[in-house]
Structure formats: structure tokens, C-alpha cells
Structure 1
Amino acid sequence: MSSLSVSTRWTFRLHRWALIVWGALVVAIGGLLLWAAGPLAAQADRVWRRLEACPDLDMCGTVDMGPYATTYLLLTYAMTLLPFVVAAWAGATLTARELESGTALTAWTQGVSPVRWLAVRMAMPAVVLAVGASLLVVVHRSAWGAAEDPGHRPPWWQPFTFHANGPTTVAACLAALAVGALTGILVSRTLPALGITVGATALLFAAAHWLMPYLWPSVTEVSRFQDGYRGLYTGVEISHGMTTRSGTRVPTPECDARSMDVCRRIYEQHDGTGFYTTFHPASHFWPLQLTTTALLLLVTALLTAASFVVLRRRTG
């Protein structure tokens, strides 16, 4: 039997409980999302149609839209936490535990090179994570679009929904795996590696989300004062404010008056001519998803390469 087969079998046995837990998470979250996309969404739609047909809302009394919205929201939060679950596992057990206990050194003396040892430990979980997270993203998109009334679900640009609806969640799980592998090699102690990996994953995910609006050209809508901010609260907002006669864009002056005419006079005193909003509309969903995913995968590749370089230097 080849050393690669032995290493693969040993890795599977070592992390079989992690595989079982991941499979259970995928089945549980996926099953509940299918429930939300089917019976719960249908129940909410029936109630909504009945409410629309009611001639007098006051006579219809309190309307219970069912648990669709709450269930969907909780499952969306659960999907957002998946990269951090991966980070906790990867930081604690992917490389750190074997290096701390000396199991890795034993494997290296029995015909398994350090490079092959690390490759197997990263490749197998990467495939499992990518497949499971991708399935959840597909089912989540189905649950998000299941209800007929858009008011039942968060807007597409809401951060939790945005990431759960696209491949950025998959890329974040793979990035967490790479962070855990590198941290384990550098630290070689289970508990410190766990904490560092979770913290580094949080920083990486937050940085990717912050950079996301700037990875694709945005749209700017200009409107008159009486028309309000065009495009505001319809997409991923970058900035909004007031345009001036010279063409510059400045923050809108404070105005507490209830009359727009009073506010307009104040704005005009500051050389204002109208409002502007710079944002990403719904048509930018996939460009934003793909560019952010590409960024996370690039970081993942760099972290993976760094893991092999560090391991090679430490093992000679």
C-alpha cells in the first residue's frame, strides 16, 4: 500500500468525527432551509394574499405571517458562522494537534514526507467543505427567493444575506481552513492556534466585506432636492450627500426642519444643487460576489503556499 493511501486513510480516521459533525450541520441547515423554502414560504404567501384581498385592514385583525421570516433569518446567521466553525476546527486539529503531540514527526519517519502530509490534510477537508458549503448556498438562495412578497425577506444587499446567497461563504470556509493550517504550523499548540485562527478569520472576513464595494465599478445617481436620494436603500451603498454648482460632492448639511422647502433653502445657501448616491444596484450582485470570492481564494492560495514554505523550512 502506498504512503499516500496510508496518509489518506489515517487523515480520514483522525478527522472522522469532524466529518460527521460537518455532514450533520449541512443536513440540518439544508433541511431547515428546504422547509423554509417550501411549507413555510407557502404559508406566508397564503396569509399575504388573504391580507391583500381584505377590504379593510382594521377589520382583518392581527395577521400572523408564520415562522418563515424568523426561520430564514436564524438559518442565515447559522450559515454566516460556518467559516468560524471551520476556523475553530482547523486551528485546533488540522496541523497543531499532530505537531504538538508528535504524531506528525512519527508519520514523517515512516515514509510520508512533510509536504505530502500537509497536502493530504488540506486537500481532503477542502473538498468536503467546498461541496457542503456550495450545497447550502444553493438551498439558501432558494429559501430567500421562495416568498412572493419581498417584504418577507431581507434585501439582497443586507450583509448576512449577501454572503449566504453566494460563493463568498464557500471561499470564506476555505480561507479559514488555510488560516488554521498555517497557524497550527507556526504555533504548534492546540488552544493558542484555535484562538488565533478564529480571530484571524474574523479579521479576514471583515476586511473582505469592507473591500467588496470597491472591487467593482459603482453607480452614481444624481437627483433634485425635491426627489430625495435616488437609489438609497436599494443596494450596497458607498456614499451619499449633496452636489454643488462646481460639481463637487460634499456631505449634506444638517437640517432638522420638517419642510423640504426650508431644507432646500439651507442646502442652496451652501451652494447645493441636488443629492447624489453612489451604490451598487441589484445587477451588481454577481460581479460583487465573484470579485470578493476571487479575493478570498487568492488569500487562501497565498496562505496555503506559506504553510508549505514554513513547513519545509522547519523540517529541512
Structure 2
Amino acid sequence: MIWLTWRQFRAQALTGLALLAAAATVFLVTGLRMHHSYTAALAACAPLHACDGATPAARALGAQLSQLPRSYEPMLMLLQLLVIAVPAVIGIFWGAPLIGRELETGTHQLAWNQTVTRTRWLAVKLTVVGVAAVTTTAMLSWLLTWWAGPLDNLNGNLWAAMTFASRDIVPLGYAAFAFALGTTLGLLVRRTLPAMAITLAVFIAIQILVPTLIRPHLLPSTATTFPINQASASQFHDFRGTQTEFHFDLPTPRGAWLTSQPPVKNSAGQVVRIDSYPECFPDSQGDAPDLSQIGACLAKYDLHETVTYHPASHYWPLQWMETGIFIVLAGALVGTCFWWIRRRQN
């Protein structure tokens, strides 16, 4: 059965291997160049004790480091899209046809009429192709995580939806789920093209819903409330306002994931308006507002603003939790496949 499965899967496997080799070449050639630029700049910064110092040399090195993310940003976006798309491609082109095509063409009868049981036939197919799917995704995820290391260190943010979904171990969970989803749909729908289309639609929906509705709530977030006064306003980064509400950009720890920043409220918990405090918001004619001055003026009104975030220490727990969720879902789909096969056999 293993040899038969390999013969049926050989074309997809060789195509995937060729594409993986091409992607690895791109990762290595460009990544080695970027890592060299990054480490060389850091080494030059060491004698100066900083890359953002007052000397011209330190400022030049700081500018060189800050230019690195901008130089590689287009390629980073493309490579992240590649890693995120691979599980979907696996589900569409490896999962959906795995059983669906055999049921559609009737070739499954050749195996089912032999001495091999249906459950063993299904188990071998799922194991051979499933291991290949997860291994391929793991290699691409590892390559991207290594490649983007300098950029992630400089940006200090691993929480963006595309970044989190394309780094470390989460792509493995996506690959296992997408493959199991495609296989299950091919088995139930018994038509390859509809199964492929449904697999793609479900995977896209998951990539949209998980970062907004599920991931932020897997662990309790941290909330910090700032009183609006001169002392706290000196820590604020910016000010944004409309006719109905306003808020300050509040500070969060480095590497934190900002999940919520509601507008400024009063002591009763009601959102307040700018026009309620005209003396605190003079017309600056386009100049940047003096946040400390605004904070000092608003201090007597007992206003506050809350920022909610996940600290950097939540990154790996959330990676493991999200990966575990999709592995469990993949296991449930595989169990559905075996249930369906046994039901048909009986």
C-alpha cells in the first residue's frame, strides 16, 4: 500500500519538492546577505555602545539598520504570503484529490476488492501524504523564521496577522488542518473540484476569523488604565480625535500585542467629546499638539483611557495553543474519514 500510495502521489510530491528547493534557494541567497548586513552593523555599533547615539558614526549606523526593514519589506510580504498559502495549496491539491479523485473515477474499487482493508487503505494514504504535507510546511516555516530574524528583531513585533501565522509552529497546525479538511471534503463530496473550492473558501475564512475573533481571547490579556494628566500624557505617543471621541496612543511594553484601545472616558465610563473641552484643544493650525499641555488641562476633569494588550511572554503559549487547536480539528476530521469508511463498509 505504501508503494501504491507513493506512485499515485509521486507527481505532486516531485512538484512540491522542486518548488521547495527553489524557495529554499531564494531564502538562503537573500537571507545570508541580509544577515551579514545586520550582524556587520551591530558589530560596528558595539564600540559606540549604541546605534542611535549623538555621534555622526552612530547615527549613520542607526540609519543603516532602520533602512534594512524597508529594503526587504516587499520580499518579506511575498514570502509570508507564500508560507501562509502553502497549507491552503496542500489542502486543495494534495488533500481534496487524495480520496475524492479515486471515488470520482471509481479506482478505489481496485483497492477495496483486494485483501487490504478499507481502513488500512485510508490510514496509509493519510499517513504518507499527511507527513509530507506537514514536513514541507515545517521546512518553509523554519526558513522564513530564520530569514526574517533580523527584521523581526528590528521591528519588535511578531503579532501582525501575517507575521504570527507564518512563523514558528503555527503553520504546521494549519497544514495538518488544511490537508485533513481537503481529504474529508473529497471523501464526503465525492467530487474533486467542489471539494477543492470548499477547502479554499474555508481556509480563507479561517485566516480572516482566527486573528480577530479567536487568537486574542486564547489567553487573558493585560489592561492598563492611564489617568489623563500632565504626568501620564508625557508618556503618550500621539493624539487622535474626531467630532465624537478622541484617544491618545498609550505606551505598551516592547513586543506587546495591542488588542484594544478605547477612546477617553470620564469617571462614569462614558465616552467624551473633544468639543466638551474647547479650552484644552486650541487650534494649532496643523502643528503637532503638545500632549503634556493637553493632559495638564484635562487633569481636572477626571478622565482616563485604558489600553489592552498581550505581553511578549504570551507569544509562545499562543503559538502552541493555536497549533494545538488546529491539530485537534485535523484529528477530528481524520476521525470523520475513518467513520465514513467503516460506515460504507458496513
Point out the more displaced range, 212-221 or 41-50.
41-50
Following superposition, the deviation at residue 295 of structure 1 comes to 0.7
**Cα distance in 1 for residues equivalent to 2:202 and 2:222:** 32
**Cα distance in 1 for residues equivalent to 2:299 and 2:107:** 70
Q: SS state of the match for residue 40, structure 1?
A: helix
Query: Does structure 1 residue 275 correspond to structure 2 residue 305?
Result: yes
Q: SS state of the match for residue 277, structure 1?
A: strand
In structure 2, relative to structure 1, the CA distance for the partners of 1:189 and 1:164 (3 Å cut) is: same
1:240-294 deviation digits (Å, cap 9, x = unpaired): 2246546x5x66756794454457756975x52x322111122211011001111
The counterpart of 1:113, out of the listed 110, 117, 141, is 117
**Cα distance in 1 for residues equivalent to 2:40 and 2:73:** 14
**Cα distance in 2 for residues equivalent to 1:267 and 1:119:** 67
The counterpart of 2:195, out of the listed 189, 193, 215, is 193
The residue aligned with 1:183 is 185
Q: Which AA in structure 2 matches 1:214?
A: H
The residue aligned with 1:238 is 259
Aligned ranges for residues 299-314 of structure 1 at < 5 Å? 299-314=329-344
Following superposition, the deviation at residue 207 of structure 1 comes to 3.6
The residue aligned with 1:293 is 323
Q: SS state of the match for residue 279, structure 1?
A: strand
Unaligned runs of 5+ in 1: 1-6
Q: Which AA in structure 1 matches 2:223?
A: T
The residue aligned with 2:224 is 221
**Cα distance in 2 for residues equivalent to 1:42 and 1:134:** 25
Point out the more displaced range, 103-112 or 226-235.
226-235
The residue aligned with 1:42 is 36
**Cα distance in 2 for residues equivalent to 1:223 and 1:34:** 46
In structure 2, relative to structure 1, the CA distance for the partners of 1:315 and 1:265 (3 Å cut) is: farther
Query: Does structure 1 residue 27 correspond to structure 2 residue 29?
Result: no
Point out the more displaced range, 282-291 or 256-265.
256-265
**Cα distance in 1 for residues equivalent to 2:99 and 2:297:** 65
Point out the more displaced range, 166-175 or 236-245.
236-245
**Cα distance in 1 for residues equivalent to 2:208 and 2:119:** 31
The counterpart of 1:158, out of the listed 157, 160, 166, is 160
In structure 2, relative to structure 1, the CA distance for the partners of 1:16 and 1:259 (3 Å cut) is: same
**Cα distance in 2 for residues equivalent to 1:87 and 1:224:** 50
Q: Which AA in structure 2 matches 1:74?
A: L
What is the total number of aligned residue pairs between the two structures? 301
Query: Does structure 1 residue 126 correspond to structure 2 residue 130?
Result: yes
**Cα distance in 1 for residues equivalent to 2:340 and 2:271:** 48
Following superposition, the deviation at residue 194 of structure 1 comes to 0.8
**Cα distance in 2 for residues equivalent to 1:123 and 1:175:** 14
Unaligned runs of 5+ in 2: 46-50, 237-249, 282-288
Runs (4+) of structure 1 moved beyond 6 Å? 47-53
Q: 1:33, 1:140 within 8 Å by CA — same for their partners in 2?
A: yes
Q: SS state of the match for residue 146, structure 1?
A: helix
**Cα distance in 2 for residues equivalent to 1:264 and 1:253:** 17
**Cα distance in 2 for residues equivalent to 1:296 and 1:112:** 30
Q: Which AA in structure 2 matches 1:155?
A: N
Q: 2:173, 2:323 within 8 Å by CA — same for their partners in 1?
A: yes
Following superposition, the deviation at residue 223 of structure 1 comes to 2.6
Following superposition, the deviation at residue 141 of structure 1 comes to 1.8
The residue aligned with 2:345 is 315
**Cα distance in 2 for residues equivalent to 1:172 and 1:220:** 30
The counterpart of 1:83, out of the listed 80, 84, 87, is 87
Query: Does structure 1 residue 97 correspond to structure 2 residue 96?
Result: no
**Cα distance in 2 for residues equivalent to 1:25 and 1:267:** 60
Q: Which AA in structure 2 matches 1:143?
A: W
Following superposition, the deviation at residue 28 of structure 1 comes to 2.3
Q: TM-score, normalised by structure 1?
A: 0.82
In structure 2, relative to structure 1, the CA distance for the partners of 1:106 and 1:252 (3 Å cut) is: farther
The residue aligned with 2:240 is none
1:27-78 deviation digits (Å, cap 9, x = unpaired): 2223322223311332466579699774687xx9xx9759544333321221
Q: Which AA in structure 1 matches 2:221?
A: S
Point out the more displaced range, 46-55 or 287-296.
46-55
